[in-house]
């Protein structure tokens, strides 16, 4: 079955794929059955178990540009290895994808980055203690992890379309617990602007496969200790769903 599923994705002819994080799958809208390929059609792809991650590829379009949406992902905190987490990226590369846009829901660590806004990732801190390259003896240069060309294109699109787009550093942790206020203060001291539980593993794999990468965080909440509110996944999903139209507008302008 894997061969036919991969062929369907490859035949779509898209060079760009977009991984959608928590609460962001609604950006795709209704998809016809012949445009959907389930993760379960690939024996090597683990199945997401977290709300907001449906686990399927959707063959879509942004304007005149064909794209592949990955609706959902798996995480280290679900018990998967880093290699498992990055399996979807390897599948997309096998299907001919050369450009990868990664989205996530994140907590804002920077007091100037108000929840509800979007942040374009300019660099990251991999604090998960994991890498999908473990055991491969690959030495991958991560100097320009996030494409300058992509970042310039999206920054210009944001200005031209009156979209507030912050730029900052994303800290990736393993989860599933949210960070403590002390950990958030530590992250701020390390230079992080946002924190989440995804993205960095996928990005490392993508760069190892020589894909051009950009990443965007939907800032769904203040990180722990920065407000009086407790954190919940339900709130993260709700805030993410409310921000999808802004990102869809940005995608249309940039792609």
Q: Is 26 exposed, middle or buried (0-12, 13-18, 19+ CB in 10 A)?
A: middle
Mean pLDDT for all residues in the chain: 91
Average pLDDT over residues 55-76: 93
Among candidates 248, 249, 246, 252, which has minimal Cα distance to 118?
246
Q: Which of 192, 212, 221, 254 is catalytic?
A: 221
Residue 181 belongs to what H/E stretch? helix 181-190
198 labelled catalytic? yes
Parallel, antiparallel, or unpaired: how do β-strands 56-62 and 65-71 relate?
Answer: antiparallel
With both helix axes pointing from N to C terminus, report the angle between 244-254 and 233-242 in degrees, rounded to the nearest 10: 50
Q: Which of 26, 117, 233, 248 is catalytic?
A: 233
167 labelled catalytic? no
Q: Which of 77, 155, 161, 167 is catalytic?
A: 77
Q: Which of 104, 198, 202, 211 is catalytic?
A: 198
DSSP string, 39-64: GGGSTTSPPP-STT---EEEEEEETT
Whether residue 114 has pLDDT greater than 70 = yes
Average pLDDT over residues 182-203: 98
Whether residue 171 has pLDDT greater than 70 = yes
- Structural domains present in the chain: 2-254 (3.40.50.1580)
Average pLDDT over residues 100-120: 95
Between residues 151 and 242, the one the model is more confident about: 151
Q: How far apart are CA 238 and CA 5, in angstroms?
A: 32
Q: How far apart are CA 151 and CA 139, in angstroms?
A: 24
- Written as six digits, the tokens of 218 are 């939907």
């Amino acid at each position: 079955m894997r061969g036919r599923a991969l062929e369907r994705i490859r035949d779509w002819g898209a060079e760009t794929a977009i991984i959608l994080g928590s609460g962001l799958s609604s950006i795709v809208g209704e998809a016809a059955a012949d445009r959907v390929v389930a993760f379960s059609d690939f024996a090597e792809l683990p199945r997401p178990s977290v709300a907001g991650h449906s686990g399927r590829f959707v063959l879509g379009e942004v304007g005149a540009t064909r794209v592949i949406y990955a609706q959902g992902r798996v995480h280290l905190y679900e018990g998967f290895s880093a290699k498992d987490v990055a399996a979807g990226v390897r599948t997309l590369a096998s299907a001919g994808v050369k450009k990868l846009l990664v989205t996530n829901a994140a907590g804002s660590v920077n007091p100037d980055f108000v929840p509800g806004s979007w942040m374009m990732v300019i660099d990251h801190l991999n604090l998960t203690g994991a890498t999908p390259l473990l055991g491969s003896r690959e030495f991958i240069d991560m100097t320009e992890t996030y494409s300058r060309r992509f970042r310039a294109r999206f920054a210009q699109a944001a200005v031209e379309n009156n979209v507030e787009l912050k730029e900052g550093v994303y800290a990736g942790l393993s989860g599933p617990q949210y960070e403590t206020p002390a950990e958030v203060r530590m992250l701020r001291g390390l230079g992080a602007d946002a924190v989440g539980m995804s993205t960095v593993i996928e990005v490392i794999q993508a760069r190892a496969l020589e894909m051009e990468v950009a990443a965007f965080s939907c800032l769904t909440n203040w990180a722990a200790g920065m407000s009086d509110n407790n954190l919940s996944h339900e709130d993260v999903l709700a805030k993410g769903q409310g921000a999808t139209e802004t990102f869809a507008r940005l995608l249309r302008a940039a792609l």
